[in-house]
Structure 1
Amino acid sequence: MTTIAAPDTARKATASSATTTYLLPVVLRNFVRNRETGLVTVAIVIGLLSGLLVATISHLSEIAHSLLFDIPYDARLSATGVISWQRTLLIPTLGGLVLAIIGVIAAGRLKGQQLADAIEANALYGGRVSFRGSILISVQTLLSNGFGGSVGLEAGYTQICSAFGSHIGQRLAARRNDMRLLVACGAAGAISAAFSAPLAGAFYAFEVVLGAYTSAGLVPVIASAVGSWLVTRHLSHQSFLMVPGFPSPVSVEMIGQTVLIGVICAFASIIVMLAVAFSERCFQRLSLFNGFLRPIVGGALLGSLALLTPTVLGAGHGAMQILLVSNPTWLLLTTTIVFKMLASAISLGSGFRGGLFFASLLLGALTGQLYSIVLSGPFPDLALQPGTAAIAALAAFGTGVLGAPFSMVCLALEITGDFSVTVGAVVASSVCALIVRELFGYSFATWRFHLRGEVIRGPQDVGWVRQLSATSLMRSDFENALSTTPVAEAQKMFSPAQVRQIVLRDPNGTYAGVVTSADLHSIATDDNLPLSTIARQQDEFLLPGASIRDIMAAFERSEADVLAVVDRADHRAAIGTVSEAHVLRTYGEELERRNQEVFFR
């Protein structure tokens, strides 16, 4: 017997689906829905709000570092070597305990809610992000970083900024495509503010959150990114990174070496993503107290690593800057890279909230600098200048982990302001992107979706496809008859001009197949043969939650024009019929509508 299984329909996109969303005045809603300037205005508001949120979270993180680790407020945690060993060991462990307690409390209060990030929300839920869930994730990210976890704040930035974009879109009753665009505007503002790089923020939104660049989305995303950058520039007067030395000129030798850097970073980024997955599997074995001990053990391990080098604490901004300007040895760079990989894998695997955004930039910069130092020994005249190699590797490593080559290239350009350095970043990023796609096939975000069982390869909107289920496509006004009904009697009951197929049921109500009108009236007999003798698809049927892909596969396998929909696999009571022609027509219409939404408003 062949059945089509229903997907997990219990997962909910947001908490707002269960509560009433209070809409803004209709005049404002119509202005945003009907005028592109209205959407741009909302995008600017989201950008300004994103800049304020990023600056606030960043300052709170610095305050936490100052209080918990007893360091000056303006000092970078990963660049401070005067922290006592007691704080170095105990503060991350205490952070794990706090996160474990919050996780237990939140598990009861947010039970049943889907805590989707911007990528998953845009791919599956039409841009609807849980607001309460996003606040929880942002608070957990802030606490993870504040207690010294080897995670960046960028995941928290994008989560809360995207949530505000989604929340505003829901208040405006925005269209599905506009909702996705407003979520991307929030993400663009977050990354723009985090790195003082509006171009990188905008292309991050296109590549990672929207999945496509469109002319209709260009102005809102750019407006949000620039607005956010202006806010943080006035609230926080610090540059993301200063690259020392003079860049290597563009030449054949430079291009060849950046290709090699791209290859190295591709394999290194794959190792990092696999290490995080391996760490998660290891910590999942700590099932004692329902996983309560995982972040505590992770914090203790992180503190132990920090006793060897404080560069593993926090995101690593200070460590990156100091190592770029201090002319470190190859041994120091190698150990820092290995320890940072271990610390990031332990932090994320044990339950600390955050992402690999900044860790990938740090690891890339250090990898490029290590390449330059190692090569300058035997070939001092050939080796790339350390700053040039660091920026090329930074962009390449970030591309491998994030899957966003254009945003990484823009980040390299905005960091340096030098075209020759950006050429190296372009080459290294392109090579890295090609190798990672060929050998691994995932970015870090989509890799984690894969580990969870979600078949998402990017932020492209596939949620509408999942909404086309057998329930939404079936007709409930179908003709039915008992399988024991004689053929001659059925010929009198069902006219070939009015009935195309008949769904049969057994005397106990169970589905028993389909009889087409052509088959029924092609038989010339006065015998009392039952309809079951000419029935088709007795073991072919659909369940209510079957997706359109499953339905099309069933039609191809059964070679039928119509399939019955039953209530449950164990009960098999027919509740409707689905025709192949209707499925194809509906899918074509929906696909055309989505294409229109992408390029036009």
Structure 2
Amino acid sequence: MFKEPLSRAMHVARWVALAFLIGVLSGLLSAAFIEALNWATDTREGNNWLVFTLPLAGLLVGCSYHYLGRGLERGSNLIIDQIHSRSEWIPLRLTPLIFGASVVSHVAGGSTGREGAALQLAAGVTDPISKRLGLNPADRSLMLIAAIAGGFGSVFGVPVAGAVFALEVQRVGRVRYEALVPAFVASFVGDAVVRGLGVSHTHYPVMPKVAWSVSMAWKVALFGVIGGLIAMLFVHLTHFIKDTLKKYVAWYPARPVIGGVLLTILILSFGWRDYSGLSIPLALEAMNGSVAGQWGSKLLLTSITIGSGFVGGEFIPLFVIGALAGASYAHTIGANVVVFAIIGSITVLAGATNTPLACTIIGIELFGGQGLTFFALACAAAYATSGHTGIYHAQPVSAHKSGIAN
């Protein structure tokens, strides 16, 4: 009578324990990573000459991956691929490799992020544990999903969205509910570890209260479509740069060197220093009413940075691009700049990552629940119009966005 319930309870307890471990490791790594990137940002902003080291930084990053981590340059796509194909183990060396290469990219001034790197930091310590425990392929997949949740939730300070992102990002059109418990445990524990260590996250303004109306709904939906197209532009430009360099530059380390040269020229020629690194202050300025930021500049620099082989991730840059695009859109149509900058920050993300549910929840956790309706509408519109290929090209398509089952 009690055998089956007891067996289920033991199964859940096992996953809670494993996810707790992943959460602790993810939180420790994210805390160290946040502090390292804060140092990198302060160092770069205090030493303007570091922009001239971008080609050298590119050489260091390129050589590191070429000689120490060949195949690991796939980054977060490697994790998603292994959730499904399970064809190779993710080595422990991925963790120090992505940590060091990301810091180098930020110090020199590459326009890159941190969430993608955090996922890899967590996966790099999680997969060796799965290998040591001799977990079967299905359980190994759940461990990697928990690693994504722990890394994302802890580095961004959004535990609910971190869990949902992990369940949603691994496949377009399907959510992995069997990973619900480990994903939520890992994300919440990881976030608690970061906060417990006293590492602070960026504080964002609260979404202003806006009355629902047909007119406002149309404006938000239209921007959602625009956000999806911006996401598509970013993805295609980044892939174009990556494919072009791969075609014409055989030696991998030379690609980020070329990217570093291009970035240095653009940053110095147009005075785009503020668009280096994470550029979170640009997003905050837009969320406080500024329309001075240029989303196209951040998009171009980020596409060159990621496309040429620098590492760190695209998530925060896309967050900034969306905020700047939202501010520009609001200024153009005479709407509230603050409202659309906030909505924009998650809209472009939803389109680029194919995770509208997670991005809607990010909006709630960062800006407050009063914007829920608008967040959901914009993210849904961006998701529907951004195409099936996002920044994570390893995502299998389970259901077409048109509603046709795959």
Q: Settle same-fold status: TM greater than 0.5.
A: yes
Give the Cα–Cα distance (whole angstroms) in 2 for the partners of residues 306 and 57 of structure 1.
Answer: 25
Contact conserved, 1:202 with 1:225, CA < 8 A, in 2?
Answer: yes
Contact conserved, 1:118 with 1:127, CA < 8 A, in 2?
Answer: no
Give the Cα–Cα distance (whole angstroms) in 2 for the partners of residues 151 and 184 of structure 1.
Answer: 23
Matches within 5 A, 1:497-508: none
Give the Cα–Cα distance (whole angstroms) in 2 for the partners of residues 315 and 217 of structure 1.
Answer: 31
- The match for 1:356 is 314
Distance 1:391 1:323, change over 3 A: closer
Distance 1:64 1:148, change over 3 A: same
* Mapped pair 1:400 → 2:362: no
Contact conserved, 1:181 with 1:217, CA < 8 A, in 2?
Answer: yes
Contact conserved, 1:409 with 1:422, CA < 8 A, in 2?
Answer: yes
Give the Cα–Cα distance (whole angstroms) in 1 for the partners of residues 398 and 175 of structure 2.
Answer: 12
Distance 1:300 1:219, change over 3 A: same
- The match for 1:57 is 33
1:122 positional shift: 0.4
1:295 positional shift: 1.4
* Mapped pair 1:414 → 2:365: yes
Q: What is the identity, as a one-letter code, of the residue corresponding to 2:81?
A: E
1:411 positional shift: 0.1
* Mapped pair 1:99 → 2:61: yes
Give the Cα–Cα distance (whole angstroms) in 1 for the partners of residues 397 and 313 of structure 2.
Answer: 17
Give the Cα–Cα distance (whole angstroms) in 1 for the partners of residues 16 and 280 of structure 2.
Answer: 33
Match of 1:444 among 372, 381, 391: 391
Structure 1 residue runs of 4 or more that deviate by more than 6 Å after TM superposition: 111-116
Give the Cα–Cα distance (whole angstroms) in 2 for the partners of residues 312 and 276 of structure 1.
Answer: 17
1:121 positional shift: 0.9
- The match for 1:258 is 220
* Mapped pair 1:299 → 2:260: yes
Distance 1:45 1:126, change over 3 A: farther
Contact conserved, 1:243 with 1:387, CA < 8 A, in 2?
Answer: no
1:245 positional shift: 6.8
Matches within 5 A, 1:205-220: 205-209=166-170, 212-220=174-182
In proportion to residue count, which structure has more helix? 2
Give the Cα–Cα distance (whole angstroms) in 2 for the partners of residues 218 and 292 of structure 1.
Answer: 40
Give the Cα–Cα distance (whole angstroms) in 2 for the partners of residues 136 and 214 of structure 1.
Answer: 29
Q: What is the identity, as a one-letter code, of the residue corresponding to 2:137?
A: R
- The match for 1:523 is none
Give the Cα–Cα distance (whole angstroms) in 2 for the partners of residues 276 and 191 of structure 1.
Answer: 22
Distance 1:431 1:114, change over 3 A: closer
- The match for 2:403 is none
Q: What is the identity, as a one-letter code, of the residue corresponding to 2:282?
A: A
Percent of matched pairs sharing the same residue: 22
Matches within 5 A, 1:355-394: 355-376=313-334, 383=335, 385-394=336-345
Give the Cα–Cα distance (whole angstroms) in 1 for the partners of residues 232 and 256 of structure 2.
Answer: 24
Distance 1:96 1:112, change over 3 A: closer
Any stretches of 5+ residues in structure 2 without a counterpart? Answer: 1-6, 400-406
Match of 2:277 among 296, 309, 314: 314
Q: What is the identity, as a one-letter code, of the residue corresponding to 2:283?
A: M
- The match for 1:123 is 84
- The match for 2:3 is none
Give the Cα–Cα distance (whole angstroms) in 2 for the partners of residues 39 and 414 of structure 1.
Answer: 26
1:274 positional shift: 0.9
Distance 1:363 1:114, change over 3 A: closer
1:270 positional shift: 0.7
Give the Cα–Cα distance (whole angstroms) in 2 for the partners of residues 91 and 324 of structure 1.
Answer: 32
Match of 1:432 among 366, 371, 382: 382
1:150 positional shift: 0.7
1:131 positional shift: 2.3
Give the Cα–Cα distance (whole angstroms) in 2 for the partners of residues 286 and 394 of structure 1.
Answer: 35
* Mapped pair 1:203 → 2:164: yes
* Mapped pair 1:232 → 2:174: no
- The match for 1:159 is 120
Distance 1:291 1:146, change over 3 A: same
- The match for 2:4 is none
- The match for 2:404 is none
Q: Deviations over 1:197-254 (max 9, x none)?
A: 1111011110113664355422221111110111111234433341267332222222
Contact conserved, 1:163 with 1:183, CA < 8 A, in 2?
Answer: no
Give the Cα–Cα distance (whole angstroms) in 1 for the partners of residues 73 and 326 of structure 2.
Answer: 42
Question: For the pair shown, which has the larger CA radius of gyration, 1 or 2?
Answer: 1
Give the Cα–Cα distance (whole angstroms) in 1 for the partners of residues 362 and 88 of structure 2.
Answer: 26
Contact conserved, 1:255 with 1:424, CA < 8 A, in 2?
Answer: yes
Give the Cα–Cα distance (whole angstroms) in 2 for the partners of residues 403 and 214 of structure 1.
Answer: 14
- The match for 2:185 is 223
- The match for 1:21 is none
Contact conserved, 1:180 with 1:210, CA < 8 A, in 2?
Answer: no
Any stretches of 5+ residues in structure 1 without a counterpart? Answer: 1-30, 72-82, 377-382, 450-455, 461-601
In proportion to residue count, which structure has more strand? 1
Distance 1:247 1:320, change over 3 A: same
* Mapped pair 1:275 → 2:225: no
Distance 1:103 1:218, change over 3 A: closer
Matches within 5 A, 1:562-581: none
* Mapped pair 1:142 → 2:103: yes
Q: What is the identity, as a one-letter code, of the residue corresponding to 2:241?
A: S
Q: What is the identity, as a one-letter code, of the residue corresponding to 1:309?
A: W
* Mapped pair 1:48 → 2:24: yes
Structure with the bigger RCO (C-alpha within 8 Å, sep 6+) is 2
Give the Cα–Cα distance (whole angstroms) in 2 for the partners of residues 387 and 363 of structure 1.
Answer: 14
Q: What is the identity, as a one-letter code, of the residue corresponding to 2:384?
A: L
Contact conserved, 1:188 with 1:202, CA < 8 A, in 2?
Answer: yes
Give the Cα–Cα distance (whole angstroms) in 2 for the partners of residues 441 and 172 of structure 1.
Answer: 36
Distance 1:387 1:70, change over 3 A: closer
Give the Cα–Cα distance (whole angstroms) in 1 for the partners of residues 261 and 332 of structure 2.
Answer: 34
How many residues are treated as equivalent by the alignment? 389
- The RMSD of aligned alpha carbons is 2.8
1:301 positional shift: 1.8
1:285 positional shift: 5.2
Q: What is the identity, as a one-letter code, of the residue corresponding to 1:45?
A: L
Contact conserved, 1:46 with 1:185, CA < 8 A, in 2?
Answer: yes
Give the Cα–Cα distance (whole angstroms) in 2 for the partners of residues 429 and 52 of structure 1.
Answer: 31
- The match for 2:15 is 39
Distance 1:218 1:102, change over 3 A: closer
Contact conserved, 2:86 with 2:137, CA < 8 A, in 1?
Answer: no
Give the Cα–Cα distance (whole angstroms) in 2 for the partners of residues 54 and 216 of structure 1.
Answer: 25
1:164 positional shift: 2.1
Contact conserved, 2:287 with 2:338, CA < 8 A, in 1?
Answer: yes
Contact conserved, 1:148 with 1:314, CA < 8 A, in 2?
Answer: yes
Match of 1:457 among 396, 402, 405: 396
Partner SS, residue 150 of structure 1: coil
- The match for 1:78 is none
